[in-house]
Homo-oligomer: A and B are copies of this chain.
Amino acid sequence: MIKLGIIGAGRIGRVHSESITKYVKGAEIKAISDVKVTPELTQWAKEMGIANVYEDYRQILQDPEIDAVLVCSSTNTHAPISIEAATAGKHVFCEKPVDADPVKIREVLAAVEKAGVKFQVGFNRRFDHNFKAIKQRVEAGDIGEPHIIRVTSRDPDAPPIEYVKVSGGMFFDMTIHDFDMIRYLSGSEVEEVFAVGQVLVDPAIGEAGDIDTAVITLKLANGAIGVIDNSRKAVYGYDQRAEVFGSKGAVQTRNDTDSTAIYSCASGVIAEKPKYFFLERYMQSFADEMICFIDAVVNDKPTKVNGNDGLQPVLIALAAKKSLDERRPVKVSEVG
């Protein structure tokens, strides 16, 4: 039974707490910290059976019983806290993105390596049943050489403008998952990026300096071509599909739905909409990434989303942003 500390009790910190409690055997949350400890948080922690609630995450790092920490604090603190935690000898699960600055990510990776601790980045979609099914076909050789990798990733609704202003932009807060997915499904690195972006959903997003609709083309080291299409708002729900096409075949996934029911009536044949958003769609993957992390810690295995997996999508996002700004294809090596 290993003991965990969770740093940051916002939405994602609580998602991990709940999925660990429910699904992850052999791990126990000993403490959680947040910059603001409210009575509500204290009550929630009690219900979750978490014994300690701190304002200062250093109390977690100083607890010798705690083996590993989950860095779920605000994005700008991911890198420094990860470094501190690794230096304190804790294994680190860090939410994505590690940082928007590759230099800082590399500092984290250096600290992790020096400390010899496990490090996993929160690209939970790799653990999703549908994407895993694609990956298995690719790895089994059923697709042959991959030629085209497509990811459709559309949110059910745009985030608040306040969020858009601080998120780092769509490529960093949303497409970052898709950049990871292209690498994961293709088994290859991205070399060059070309991004087309528009403001079609809400002019306020444009005024905040971001886009809400994009198609990004990616040239991969293995010759394959990746293509991502994004929208901040799909009125029918969270649209999360992917396809790998290659020399021996293709594999694609559709959206998950709450049920398989099909209703036929005078006005048409009606199926259910996709599950609403990421909590509904990816809940099990949050548990499964944690099971993987705990397994890596307990059994001294490599994690399945390592430091380079944390770095590359950020580089791709930087290249995509530069491509959008300069209206030309940009090599990932230009921003690295």
Contacts and interface: CB of A to CB of B under 8 A. Distances in A.
A253 interface: yes
A327 interface: yes
A272 B133 contact: yes
A264 B274 CA distance: 9
A231 B150 CA distance: 13
Interface stretch (A57-65, A107-115, A221-229): A221-229
B266 A229 contact: no
A303 to B, nearest CB: 23
Number of copies: 4
Contact of A229 (B130, B134, B227): B227
A280 to B, nearest CB: 12
Interface string A120-141: 0000000001101110010000
Contacts of A254: 260, 262
Contacts of A133: 258-261, 272
A147 interface: yes
Contact of A249 (B130, B264, B271): B264
A68 interface: no
11 contacts: A130-B259, A133-B261, A198-B223, A198-B224, A217-B217, A227-B229, A237-B264, A253-B261, A268-B273, A328-B328, A328-B329
